Amino acid sequence: MSSAIEPAIRLEVADAIATITLDRPEALNALTIPMKRQLVAAFETARIDRTVRAVILTGAGRAFCAGQDLRERLDPAAPSLGEELRDHYNPIIRAMRALPQPIIGAINGVAAGAGASLAFACDLRIAADTASFVLAFGRLGLVPDSGATWTLPRLVGPAKAAELALLDEPLSAAEALRLGLVTSVVTADALPGEARAVANRLATAAPAAVAETKRLMAAGQASDLETALAAEAEAQDRLGRSTDHDEGLAAFVEKRPPRFTGG
Ligand code: LHQ
């Protein structure tokens, strides 16, 4: 299935993978209000599609996303920045973090401002060697937003996060790899194939286990050890009664790859 969601978000579903493309290359995929609404809608479409086991988020053209469309902000009728965040950005980040399926950010070029925040909200990131991350908020007299104050310190540690946020220096793909912010760096030509390969691996994993892993890893960031231990036991109890767990055990004994069905 392929559908063009107006105005500049593309959603394609094929072989259990939903690919969401920010598609406004002439403005480096800078985000307008209609795009943000459609991005939330695209994640919702992926969420309720039971055939979708993994999501790829990427950008068309030479950039991943240049963040907020700054020209749109010049409109005197533009909402206040607080409204903009509460009504348009925060719902995207919530949708991404609450999505049961894992999201792979295929970072094909520069990710700036809220574009970097989108990349940080993915579960895994793969970068083209031409990609870079730049917070860019400070030079506009703003704080990092769209979850970046929460995600970035958790991804790279507080010291590096402070450096990136306060100095606004671009972080290269190579440096992002060294920090563990991205899983791998490939050429721009190889990026779509590499993203699909990782998505395929996730699409053949047990979906409930993947969803619970994503949920528990996030919850673990904000809880104490006892709470995490209890949450793991509760989830494992449920997963232990699933047919996918039976299949995993059977596959081990029969020395074959498991075929998970989501049961
Ligand atoms: C753009 C943009 C853009 C419009 C490139 N808007 N057109 C902010 C406020 C509101 C609410 C809440 O949160 C936020 C969060 C944020 O996202 S703040 C950060 C906003 N983003 C930026 O400050 C990044 C601005 N862009 C840049 O610094 C550069 O364009 C980068 C470093 C991304 C890329 O540089 P270049 O490769 O040299 O490309 P370029 O600057 O020549 O851009 C190409 C075109 O894209 C150009 O249009 P033109 O018609 O002149 O060819 C740019 O105007 C347009 N573009 N970013 N954010």
Q: What is the DSSP string of 146-184?
A: TTHHHHHHHHH-HHHHHHHHHH-PPEEHHHHHHHTSSSE
Judge whether 2-203 and 207-254 match in fold.
no
Q: Identify the three-state secondary structure at position 126.
A: strand
Q: Residue 51 C-alpha to ligand 1 middle, in angstroms? A: 36
Asked whether the predicted pLDDT for residue 214 surpasses 50, the reply is yes
Residues with C-beta less than 6 Å from any ligand 1 atom: 27-28, 30, 66-71, 73, 81, 84-85, 89, 110, 112-114, 136-137, 140, 142, 145
Ligand 1 mutation target, pool 70, 72, 83, most atoms within 8 A of CB: 70
Domain assignments of the chain as residue spans, ordered by start: 2-203, 207-254
Q: What is the pLDDT of residues 97-139, one digit of tens each?
A: 999 999 999 999 999 999 999 999 999 999 999 999 999 999 9
pTM for this model (two decimals):
0.96
Q: Residue 89 C-alpha to ligand 1 middle, in angstroms? A: 17
CATH number corresponding to 2-203: 3.90.226.10
User: What is the H or E stretch that residue 120 is in?
Assistant: helix 114-121
Q: Which residues pair with 149 in a beta bridge?
A: none
Stronger pLDDT, 3 or 43, i.e. the higher one: 43
Percent helix, percent strand, percent coil in the chain, to nearest 5? 50, 20, 30
Does CATH place domain 207-254 in 1.20.950?
A: no
Question: How is residue 202 written in tokens?
Answer: 């996730």
Omega cis (within 30) before 144: no
Q: Residue 196 C-alpha to ligand 1 middle, in angstroms? A: 28
| Average model confidence (pLDDT) across the chain | 96
